[in-house]
Chain A
Amino acid sequence: MPMLLNGADWATALVFVPLLAALACFLVPRAADWLGVLAALLILLATLGLVQDLLSDGPLRVAVGGWGAPLGIDLWADGLSAALLLMTALVGLGVSVYAPGYFAAHPQQQRWFWPLWLLLWTALNGLYLSADLFNLYVMLEVLGLSAAALTALSGSATGLNAAMRYLLVSLLGSAAYLLGVALLYHGYGTVDIALLGQRIEAGAVATTALLVMAAGLLLKTALLPFHFWLPPAHGSAPAPVSALLSALVIKASFYLLLRLWLDLFSGLGGLLAALLPELLGLLGAAAVLWGSVQALRQRRLKLLIAYSTVAQIGYLFLGFPLAGVQAEEVAWRAVLYLALAHGLAKAAMFLSAGNLLQFAGHDRIADLDRAVQRLPLTLTAFVLGGISIMGLPPSGGFVGKWLLLESAFTQGRWGFAIVVLLGGVLAAGYVFKVVGYAFTPTEIAQEGEAVPLRMQWSALLLAFGAILLGFSAPWLWPLLGVGDPFGLPIAEVGAAR
């Protein structure tokens, strides 16, 4: 079928559709529900169009408004960004379908939810598509602000407190990143990633930039020991917001870090470039273990899921040492799989938690009281999401862990292999702790409120997505390779020429 629109149009649409929808929702709050869902559908359509285009024509670079780099705003899409865009679109659609049900009980929150969420989505899409460091900064900032505002939606004291902390962290992180951008611009005279990749060379400027940017982004990604802000923020936000924060927002800063590392810094050589991946790997391993153990100890469902996020972020950083300074595709693909699977699964889990919360009015794990009988769809969603988180087959998480283990074993990095496995076991521990209590009745039978089907099904379908991701290799594998995002860094390619 000949496409009416080409890849460039899809990419542009990805940024502008959510932006316009955000405006529309802000102006016409009464129609926000269906506007939001419509926008989500459109975005998904655009993403699919973009993916289709990438698969057939290779990576894409669009100069918006006709000015090319280094002056104008360039959009850039390759396999890495497309995969994340797709995940964002799916999770976004799920949450958009879910949100009206959830906020029916909280109309004043709904008033603000839609504009903020669509703005957040704009920032996410923009971030994945931006080709220059400054644009990335802008998107990062918009992302942080809208995320902090969404966190505050619940309006409770703890919620506000957590949101405030989150805001500060977010600002600090962005500031550090901006400092790095400034240094690089000062040193090499461009903010375009591709150009910078060609110009950058080892030295004090690059090293300092790497350090501050990494620090800022790690803070935003909540890698241990910067995770302190995450559990309260994710635990106290409204359920759809928690899902967004856990599944999407964190991935954005991780993506940025990954992109910078792959395209700018990994080819630099030198002590720092050799040590940083190891350090990140160690922190990741520590995060996996610490987060999982903390999750096991939680008594509140949402906090449990939030700590699980801390652990899952750790996995993403195991890719750095396993990929090493040389590019090793398998480890990065593993990380991507894990990131995608985590996005879908964690969204499903948070949405399920929202259902349980709405149903029972609390989220104490020990008092789930036969939730399996009473909310079977929700529990199924939770468990299916959990399966992917644990890395049990067949799921996206399983494929990710398999690849990660494969690269760990190939390189003889036994320690990381053990961490990966142990993390899976601990994850099974905390997921099934919840499930076990969902089977048993409490002493005093509890009354539950009805949960709309759309809330249950959106969670379930997201979880199915996480499972089906395990079977997606036939098209996802080539997609991830589009534009060779994990290939040799551009700098090195330039030097080789």
Chain B
Amino acid sequence: MNVASLLATLGQWAPLLVLVVPLALAGLLAFPRLVGAVGRLAPWAMLPALLAGLLAPQTELLLPELLLGSSLMIDPIGRPFLLLLGLLWLVAGWLAGERLRRRGPVLLFLLAMTGSLGLVVAGNLVVFLLASTVSGYALYGLAARQSGARAFVVLLVLSDLLLFELLLLLVKSGIGLSLAPAVAPSAAIGGSLALLVLSVLGFGAKAAVFGLHLWLPRMLSGRAVELLPILIGFVLAAGLLPWLRLLAPGALSGDAATLLSWMALTSMGLAVILGMLQGGQQALLGYAISALSGFWLLLLSVSGGELGALMPVAETEARALAMALALCQAGLALAALLVQGARRWARQSWLDWMLNGFAVLLFADALLGMAGVLAFDRENGFMIAACGLFGGLMGQLLCARHGTETLQVIGPSRPLSLSLLAAGWALLMAGGAMIAPSGWPLAASLSAPVSAPLAALALIGVTTLSALLALARPARA
């Protein structure tokens, strides 16, 4: 057996290896003597994932004996996620440091890692559900003492129920559960309202879409630093990735797409506004993530709208979109990391500076990715508004990186004024829906002339506000 065939075999089994390594480490915890060693190794359990993301060929591994017939895969969409998650887990392990020397936390850590990697390599929805359960409940275990944990577990249970129903309905309607790009059930989901609602809400709870976001800011505000990258990874893999797979570009069309983009924009706006209201950086970050999820949903729905129907999205473009989204997320996640990292390394100024520089680079990268998205569909008012909103939020986040722990500017009256702003945003959006012609070609009326001014208005409003807030912030004490 030569090296090439060995490598080929390895590549074929790569998706399983990604999962088996952390799981095996977790298994070693049964021996109390090994706990210390496992704790030290735990952050590195993501290495196979990283390697697989970089090197493994595109592959699908069928495991018909597992559950109700399973498959694992590494595909172009999953690859960047695999890389990103690998990095996030590495950082999380690093941040957790000494906390991984005890049996309980390290077990949960490894399980959550296995689960979230499983979310990426899942080849069908049953495996996906399994991975999301494992990572979700392990994450709950890690964060159980944080304030948002209860909200998280409630949403987790509800979301799993919705997904369960979604899966059943998919099987019932003969679509099947495979997530492989060739047979992804996206078209069917786009065609049925029930399936669409189930998938938007079911994954939305994990993606912390505004309205189902309650757990995220609170959990981020806790003291456990390592939760940040983990939660970001969870949102990414359990919420956004399945959307990307199931609501693939071109899947949604017509009224459903328009309605969805409208809702996504609304929720995103609310998330941005409320995010700016937040006192703490971590809470702000939470809202930023929520807004990002809205953004993501918006992109997906827009790409399949009127324009998508006119101009069928080619495979390469879809892939480009995916890459762009992933990059956005990467920028956000690492920026968030750095925000949080300051607390730890504030004294080591050279490191601090280096990280700052890195953060700026990543931010630029994220903006570039966004520009790519814009280029993809620059005629769309939704898109412009969303990009604007998102840019504002990112700026806010980076400013917060240099700011103090709380935003003091508006003082006690802050809730009032910003609530007004939020209400204004909601009214604006509702107004947009109202002035649309009463017949239901809402798509046409919203996507072009009517919404462009609205979006521009929103863009201007929000950027101004965020700039104001950023400038008015008192200097570091």
**Chain A directly contacts chain B within the complex, with at least one CB pair under 8 Å:** no
Hey, which bits of chain B sit against chain A, CB under 8 A? Answer: none
Hey, which bits of chain A sit against chain B, CB under 8 A? Answer: none
